[in-house]
Amino acid sequence: MAGDAVKLLGAWPSPVVMRARIALNLKSVGYEFVEENLGNKSQLLLQSNPVHKKIPVLIHGDKPVCESLIIVQYIDEVWSSGPGILPSDPYDLATARFWAAYIDDKWFPSLTGIAKAQDDGAKKAAIEQVSEGLALLEDAFRKCSKGKTFFGGDRVGYLDIAFGCFLGWLRVTEKMNGVELISRSKTPQLAQWAERFCADPAVKDVMPETDKLAEFAKVLFAKFKNPPSQ
Amino acid sequence: MAETLTLLDYWPSMFGMRCRIALREKDIKFEYQEQDLWSKSPLLLEMNPIYKKIPVLIHNGKPICESLIIVEYIDETWKGKAPLLPSDPYERAQARFWADYVDKKIYEGGRNVWSTTGEDQGEAKKEYIERLKVLEGVLGDKPFFGGDSFGFTDIALIPYYSWFYSYEICANFSIEAECPKLISWAKRCMEKESVSESLPDPEKIYMLLLELKKKAGK
């Protein structure tokens, strides 16, 4: 079963797609990456994820797995002989899942809130919210890493993947708004972790370059400010 | 050290019910602590400072938050009895996917049904039934979402059964008429003690809903 062909439907700017790619890289699993055009979704995508019609979708053999964090867990469980991604202790695992959910439900939406802010006051408030979240995550890092390099300890793990995938977009947001969100002065642990994460062999080839992402972002954010009439 | 297990909960909460069911499936003794959500206890605020919400499971002084995370924690910590997730990775991914679907589509869908009126409510009803029908399709002819055994997706969804009565009265429709297979499944789940002991009387939930609506001036 682990030997069946692996296909990943995704798009290069998508942080959640990166989660699946990092996990596959950590396990040294070869896969075919299918770049989707989100303005014109492929039949394969619509068939493989009829419920949400979203990327990423992992197709293993002929079986689709959807939702990025579910995909990461699936990868860890199928290729179980490779380096472990999820913490083995149930309490550490529950903690990692909690923060991954917080990042998806609260933190990342607050980051996109900066781009969506319609005026300077709203933007300032949005930036404040993101910074508050980062302070919580700095604290979470201290507790989860237990003095080691990553949230997961010595190696990139579940929470590193869940959070680290957003670093590209975080850098773009910093650049476009002239702010420092993760910095050595405000979030020293996260600043060090971010550098190490982005340099990790499983990450560096799939993390988009900030400039390329910034160009893409400009087009995307223009749509936020002038939403096309439905 | 003696093991301590406390569940901070609120009796009509679907999320709390999931945790109660999981603990009872595993035959684990726990202390249930009813919380007043309008006057939150120092313990709740200390154990869940980020969201200040129930349920919170406190195991030997350490808090676990978020209902599905709690259910997986229970499954992983007490492995000996009643596995809640299947062993096959693909089946596990499916179980998690559909539990996530319940979180994304069923909670909000239900709230829209009881909290809206007129045309909006008509739309909300239609949408809600469509979503329930998706789940009915996934269930198919299996006795439970997990197949032959009651499991993760069943636990995620069954608490909503205690709220169906309220939705039906508020919006004047019958969920059983639209989704008979789903209701058969729900009644099958209710035959399990872990479920029947964990779900409140639907009439009590309806009385509470009327009270909450009155407070909100609706």
For residue A18, give both structure tokens. 């990166």
pLDDT for A40 beyond 50: yes
Per-residue model confidence (pLDDT) at position B28:
96
Average pLDDT over residues B57-63: 98
Interface test with A, best of B53, B74, B96, B131 (most A CBs within 10 A): B96
pLDDT of B137 reads 97
Which tens digit of pLDDT belongs to each residue from B118-171?
Answer: 999 999 999 999 999 999 999 999 999 999 999 999 999 999 999 999 999 999
Residues near B123 by beta carbon (within 8 Å), at least 6 away in sequence: B116
CA distance A15 to chain B (A): 19
Give the residue-averaged pLDDT of B54-78. Answer: 98
* A56 cis-preceded (ω within 30 degrees of 0): yes
pLDDT given for residue B1 in this prediction: 56
Which residues in B lie closer than 8 A to residue A4 (C-beta atoms)?
none
Single-letter amino acid code for the residue at B197: E
Position A229 pLDDT exceeds 60: no
Question: Does residue B14 carry a pLDDT above 60?
Answer: yes
Interface test with B, best of A27, A59, A70 (most B CBs within 10 A): A70
Whether B21 has a pLDDT exceeding 70, the answer reads yes
CATH class of domain segment(s) A90-220:
mainly alpha
The CA distance from A56 to A49, in Å, is 9
Sign of CA dihedral A209, A215, A220, A224: positive
User: Are A98 and B100 within 8 A, CB to CB?
Assistant: no
Q: Which residues of chain A neighbour B90 with C-beta distances below 8 Å?
A: 60, 63, 65, 74
Q: Please give the structure tokens belonging to residue A149.
A: 């390099």
- Enumerate the domain spans of chain A: 6-78, 90-220
Question: Which residues does chain A have within 8 Å of residue B53's beta carbon, measured at their own beta carbons?
Answer: none
pLDDT (mean) for A26-50? 96
- Rounded to a whole number, what is the distance in Å from the CA of B24 to chain A's nearest CA? 19
Query: Residue type at B107?
Result: Y
Mean pLDDT of all residues in A72-96: 97
Looking at residue A228, what is its pLDDT?
Answer: 58
CA distances from B117 to B161, B171, B211 (A): 22, 8, 17
The two tokens of residue A142 are 């201290």
Instruction: Give just the sign of the alpha carbon dihedral B101, B107, B112, B114.
Output: positive
Residue A71: is it exposed, middle or buried by C-beta count within 10 angstroms (0-12/13-18/19+)? buried
Instruction: Match domain A6-78 to its CATH number in 3.40.50.620, 3.40.30.10, 3.40.50.720, 1.10.110.30.
Output: 3.40.30.10
Interchain CB contact of A197 with B (< 8 Å)? no
**Minimal Cβ distance to A90: which of B50, B73, B96:** B73
Chain B residues inside the 8 Å CB shell of A62: none
Give me the residue label for tokens 């229970």: B74
Contact (Cβ atoms closer than 8 angstroms) between residue A20 and residue A68: yes
Angle between helices A108-116 and A167-177 (to 10 degrees): 30
CB contact under 8 A, B66 and A70: no
Query: In 3D, which of B151, B53, B152, B143 has the Cα closest to residue B100?
Result: B152
Say if CB A144 and CB A186 are below 8 A apart. Answer: no
At residue A230 the predicted structure's pLDDT band, cuts being 50, 70 and 90, is very low
Phi, psi of B62, rounded to the nearest 5 degrees: -105, 130
Which pLDDT does position B183 carry in this prediction?
Answer: 98
| Interchain proximity A66–B62, CB inside 8 Å | no
Measured between CA atoms, how close is A100 to chain B, in angstroms? 11
The pLDDT-based confidence of A2 (bands split at 50, 70, 90) is: confident
Lookup: tokens for B48: 């869940």
**For chains A and B, what is the number of CB pairs under 8 angstroms?**
52
Query: Please, which pLDDT band fits residue A3 given cuts at 50, 70 and 90?
Result: confident
Q: Is the pLDDT of residue B202 over 50?
A: yes
**Contact list, B153 vs chain A (CB under 8 Å):** none
- Coil, helix or strand for A118? coil
Confidence bin at B95 (pLDDT 50/70/90) = very high
ipTM: 0.96
At which residue do the structure tokens 């699936």 appear?
A: A74
CA distance B117 to B65: 34
pLDDT digits (tens, 9 = 90+) for A127-183: 999 999 999 999 999 999 999 999 999 999 999 999 999 999 999 999 999 999 999
% of chain B beyond a pLDDT of 70: 99
**Please, what are the domains in chain B?**
5-77 (3.40.30.10), 89-216 (1.20.1050.10)
The partner residue sitting opposite A70, judged by closest CB among B59, B77, B96, is B96
CA distance A179 to A126: 12
Round to the nearest angstrom and report the end-to-end CA distance of chain A. Answer: 44
Give the residue on B whose Cα is nearest the Cα of A136.
B50
Percent of chain A having pLDDT more than 70?
97
The DSSP output letter for A227 is: P
Report pLDDT for B217: 74
Segment among A60-69, A186-195, A209-218, B94-103 with least mean pLDDT: A209-218
- Would you say residue A14 has pLDDT above 60? yes
- Cross-strand pairs, B31: B6
pLDDT-based confidence at residue A91 (cuts at 50, 70, 90): very high
pLDDT of residue A78: 98
The secondary element (H helix, E strand) that includes residue B44 is helix B42-47
Angle ∠(B164,B156,B41) on CA atoms, nearest 5: 90
Interface test with A, best of B67, B74, B100, B152 (most A CBs within 10 A): B100
